[in-house]
Structure 1
Amino acid sequence: MKKLGLLVAAAALALSAGTAMAQKKQLVIVVKGLDNPFFEAINQGCQKWNSENASSEYECFYTGPASTSDEAGEAQIVQDMLGKPSTVAIAISPSNAKLIAQTIKTAAPTIPVMTLDADLAKEDAALRKTYLGTDNYLMGKRIGDYMKEALPKGGKVCSIQGNPGADNILRRAQGWRDSLSGQEGLTELKGEGGWTEVAGCPVFTNDDGAKGVQAMTDILAANPDLVGFGIMGGWPLFGAPQPYRDLFKPLAEKIAANEFVIGAADTIGEEVAIAKEGLVTALVGQRPFEMGYKAPTVMIDLIGGKPVEDPVFTGLDECTKDTADTCIQK
């Protein structure tokens, strides 16, 4: 009987603890898709914040659609989260900036809304309090800088992009073109600075690594005089590392001699190993863990009415074959 009483008491304690957790105010992070290692790094930062703030009245709650290609699914999750009484602030990485902006307008939230990793379009920026993440224009510019430094005379190139409605990718592509051309605002390279985008480019892959590798295979086959790729997200390298290696190992000597240049975004998964192998000219990486770790604190500041900078940039890590062992900031 005494043992039964102890079990009942333990069950009651567990139920109480579970109820207390359920009653926590949720600082929600909605990402483009749960199938992307980049966003899992954001989740790890979110969970690290939770582990360090177990006694807080708040918890970081991470969610998103199963696939990064599910724009409508992300918008529905944002709508659902904004309608939950437990949601007291939300950080969104918009897969489709216009769609998420419309979702926010329709929901007319009374809680703080911020963007994370990807921002809304400039004309919709008033819908959120701040943006936390990468300076995407600078990231694209640095990718272009590395390519231009390696091959100053330029040549025929192609950019590999993700979702055509993703503001962060579009800003990177603009920075990339501005760097290569030496001009601002071009939507296509037609010989400016010596650089020309070939037919069929940019290629939009919806963040699918295998699709990115296949696209580069096709572009190379159709353009034997191609001199490089600007990869605006690391999906082909971290999402399909072996197919990527298989495609570019035959070009390793040209890459080493700066006769073929590849500038790519991100430094996650096997990307740094690929850089060490000399199969990319340079990587310009983001800091997704830091985004996930900082987001709850920024949301709490917004709830409390504290001043928050807009934007809040998390910095870049730049890696080449020669710096790969020390390029990631801890």
Structure 2
Amino acid sequence: MRYFGAIAVALALAASGAAGAQAQEKKTLAIVVKGLDNPFFEQINLGCQDWAAKNPDSEYECLYTGPASSADEAGQVQLVDDLLTRGVAAIAISPSNAPAMANRLREVAPKIPVMTIDADLSEADRSLRATFLGTDNYLMGVMMAEQAKRLKPDGGTVCLQLGNVAADNINARAAGFRDTIAGSKGVSRLAGEGGWTEIEGCPVFTNDQIDLANQQMADVFTSNPDLDAFILVGGWAQFAPQAYAQVTDQVMDKLTNNELVIVAGDTLPPQVQAFNEGRSHAQIGQRPFEMGQRAPEVMMQLINGETVDDPLYTGLDVCTREEPGFCAQ
């Protein structure tokens, strides 16, 4: 497995230096995402590229990489290990499995600046990184709950769709949602609090797999015809427009009359399209392009020993049918 991780790093570094000898001499600022198969992370890549295009004379280059699959938690840890071994100037990591990544960082004890981006380490392990750049994920969950309460003021049955079991950012959103619904912190599962009850078999975990996310939605809708709300804590299912359309076709009448409401995370183009087709009621959007654009500057500040705030939040956008805002066509 380490052999293949080394190959991935070698290919990524080779690609980043393809512009010629001058580019190869540049120091590397690495951004390691959960998986290259997720279009959300491609927005971070575009931000990284935008920074590079605007800073051609910088002594640093922005390297975007990650395992091929978002489900490959061990592969991501190995990739980070290989990058640290080969040598980069600084690294920004979106950990799939926060405890596993923390354990490896603790073992390696990198001498370079380490930050997190998009997803953080678990609270107990945050001394291992200098700062976090990304979304206030707890607040994102709060905002999802506010939309669910607005759409269904009397509450009802709900299913949460989550990502990887150990993904800190997704778990923070789930906590924000449940705490807001319940009116108190620390609720692990809704059982009537605020009028809301999580159905049997939920939450469901996608492991960041888009096809699995759509299958889970279809199964939940089929087995729970009286479901009141489905919460995509991340946007996985919506990243496959055709599959998501097929899944929501079976409940379009319910979506149209608000009998069933869908609140989803993120506002990527296919999600905006789905929203405008009436296939969701609210979208809570992150700003991944800004994350990729800002990460190199933050890493350079850390390299230079400058004081950097922790955390660094990139903000959220809200789209509703009443106020489409960012999602308006």
TM-score (norm 2): 0.91
253 and 205 in structure 1: CA distance in 2 versus 1, 3 angstrom threshold: same
Contact 1:133 1:312 in 2 (8 A): yes
Q: Distance in 1 between matches of 2:297 and 2:84?
A: 19
Residue correspondence of structure 1 range 250-289 to structure 2 within 5 A: 250-289=250-289
Q: Which moved more, 1:213-222 or 1:243-252?
A: 243-252
Task: Find the aligned partners of 1:50 and 1:68 in 2 and give their Cα distance.
Answer: 25
Residue 112 in 1 paired to residue 113 in 2? yes
- Provide, for residues 240-287 of structure 1, a one-character-per-residue CA deviation record: whole Å limited to 9, x for no partner: 222222222343343233321111100013101111111111000100
- The residue that corresponds to 2:31 in the other structure is 29
- CA separation of 1:109 and 1:278: change in aligned 2, threshold 3 A: same
Structure 1 residue aligned with 2:207: 206
8 A Cα contact 1:32 1:95, kept in partner:
yes
Q: Could you tell me how far 1:119 is from its partner in structure 2? A: 0.1
In the TM superposition, 1:227-246 aligns within 5 A as 227-238=228-239, 240-246=240-246
Could you tell me which residue of structure 2 aligns to residue 319 of structure 1?
319
- Structure 1 residues 264, 31: CA separation in 2 closer, same or farther (over 3 Å shift)? same
Q: Which runs of 5+ in 1 are unaligned?
A: 1-14
**2:140 paired residue number:** 139
Kindly indicate whether the alpha-carbon contact (under 8 Å) linking 2:265 and 2:283 is maintained by their aligned counterparts in 1.
yes
String of CA shifts for 1:57-86, please: whole Å, max 9, x gaps.
Answer: 00111111000000011000100111123x
CA distance in structure 2 between the aligned counterparts of 1:228 and 1:285, rounded to whole angstroms: 19
How far apart are the structure 2 equivalents of 1:170 and 1:265?
13
What residue in structure 1 maps to residue 169 of structure 2?
168
Compute the displacement of 1:328 (Å): 5.7
> Is contact 1:157-1:195 (8 Å) kept?
yes
Contact 2:276–2:327 (8 Å) recurs in 1: no
C-alpha deviation, 1:126, in angstroms:
0.2
1:312/1:16 CA distance change after superposition, 3 Å: closer
How many residue pairs were aligned?
A: 312
More displaced stretch, 250-259 vs 151-160: 250-259
State the one-letter code of the partner of 2:264: A
**1:10 match:** none
Larger gyration radius, structure 1 or structure 2: 1
Task: Give how far 1:19 is off.
Answer: 1.9
Alpha-carbon distance between aligned partners in 1 of 2:165 and 2:139, rounded to the nearest angstrom: 19
Equivalence for 1:292? 292
Q: Do the aligned partners of 1:262 and 1:280 also contact (CA within 8 Å) in 2? A: yes
Task: Tell me how far apart the structure 2 counterparts of residues 180 and 74 of structure 1 sit (CA, whole Å).
Answer: 34
In structure 2, what is the Cα distance between the partners aligned to 1:67 and 1:213? Answer: 17
User: How far apart are 1:212 and its partner, in Å?
Assistant: 1.1
CA distance in 2, matches of 1:19, 1:266: 39
Percent identity for Structure 1 against Structure 2: 53
Matched, 1:41 2:40: no
CA distance in 2, matches of 1:268, 1:320: 15
Q: Distance in 2 between matches of 1:136 and 1:168?
A: 6
- TM-score normalized by structure 1? 0.91
Whole-Å Cα distance in 2 between the matches of residues 321 and 245 of structure 1? 18
1:147-181 CA-to-partner distances (Å, cap 9, x unmatched) read 11110111111101110010000000111111222
User: Structure 2 CA distance, aligned partners of 1:222 and 1:177?
Assistant: 23
Q: Which residue of 1 aligns with 2:224?
A: 223
Partner deviation per Cα, 1:122-147 (whole Å, 9 max, x = no partner): 00000000000000001111111101
1:17 deviation in Å?
Answer: 6.9
> Could you tell me which residue of structure 1 aligns to residue 12 of structure 2?
none
Structure-2 separation of matches of 1:171 and 1:205: 16
- CA 1:273/1:322 → structure 2, altered by over 3 Å: closer, same or farther? farther
Provide the residue aligned with 1:6 in structure 2.
none
> Which residue type is aligned with residue 320 of structure 1?
T
SS state at 2:269 partner: coil
Long gaps (5+) in structure 2: 1-16
Q: Secondary structure at the match of 1:158?
A: strand
- Pairing of 1:55-70 with structure 2 (within 5 A): 55-70=57-72
Distance 1:328 1:255, change over 3 A: closer
CA contact (8 A) 1:162 1:207 kept: yes
User: Structure 1 132/83 Cα, relative in aligned 2: closer, same or farther at 3 Å?
Assistant: same
